[in-house]
């Protein structure tokens, strides 16, 4: 019986953590479909959060590479007064970057739903 109570408490904590993070993410970033993303990203700061090798293999035309691993040091390169359009391979890194930028005072933060793996628009690569 004690084991079941412990498991229930652990599950409750995990569920609460997931719900709180989901709520924080919804307040920090607006998810956009590819069509919505295309309509606005040319008037915004388009940031690819993937690592340089991923970026060089192919990225959205006009994107600037600021890897998530460098975001804490480089976030000041991104202007807080302009919209920020983020994307990564899926959406994990862009979600974490959005939360970090929101804490730093950025308000117009958008992310590509599904990430680069779902992108069917124009792509530029070094190859």
Catalytic residue (choose from 49, 78, 88, 112)? 88
User: Closest by alpha carbon to 117, among 66, 71, 68, 48?
Assistant: 48
**Rounded to whole angstroms, how far apart are CA atoms 93 and 56?**
18
pTM exceeds 0.85 for this model:
no
- Mean predicted lDDT score pLDDT of the chain: 91
Residues near 84 by beta carbon (within 8 Å), at least 6 away in sequence: 44, 45, 47, 78, 101, 106, 108, 109, 110
**Rounded to whole angstroms, how far apart are CA atoms 38 and 31?**
13
What is the dihedral angle through the alpha carbons of 42, 81, 95, 58, rounded to the nearest 10 degrees? 30
**Rounded to whole angstroms, how far apart are CA atoms 23 and 101?**
16
Q: In this structure, what DSSP letter does residue 22 have?
A: H
39 included as an active-site residue: no
Flag the least confident range among 10-19, 63-72, 117-126. Answer: 10-19
When pLDDT is cut at 50, 70 and 90, the band that residue 92 belongs to is confident
Q: Which domains does the chain have, with CATH numbers?
A: 2-124 (3.40.250.10)
pLDDT number for residue 59: 96
When pLDDT is cut at 50, 70 and 90, the band that residue 21 belongs to is low
């Amino acid at each position: 019986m004690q084991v079941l109570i412990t498991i229930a408490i652990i599950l409750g904590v995990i569920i609460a953590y997931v719900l709180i993070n989901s709520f924080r993410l919804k307040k920090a970033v607006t998810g956009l479909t590819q069509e919505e993303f295309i309509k606005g990203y040319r008037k915004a700061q388009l940031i690819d959060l993937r690592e340089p090798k991923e970026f060089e293999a192919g990225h959205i035309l006009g994107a600037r590479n600021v890897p998530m691993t460098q975001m804490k040091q480089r976030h000041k390169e991104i202007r807080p007064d302009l919209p920020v359009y983020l994307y990564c391979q899926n959406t994990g890194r862009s979600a974490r970057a959005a939360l970090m930028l929101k804490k730093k005072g950025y308000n117009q933060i958008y992310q590509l739903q599904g990430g680069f793996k779902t992108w069917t628009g124009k792509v530029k690569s070094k190859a």
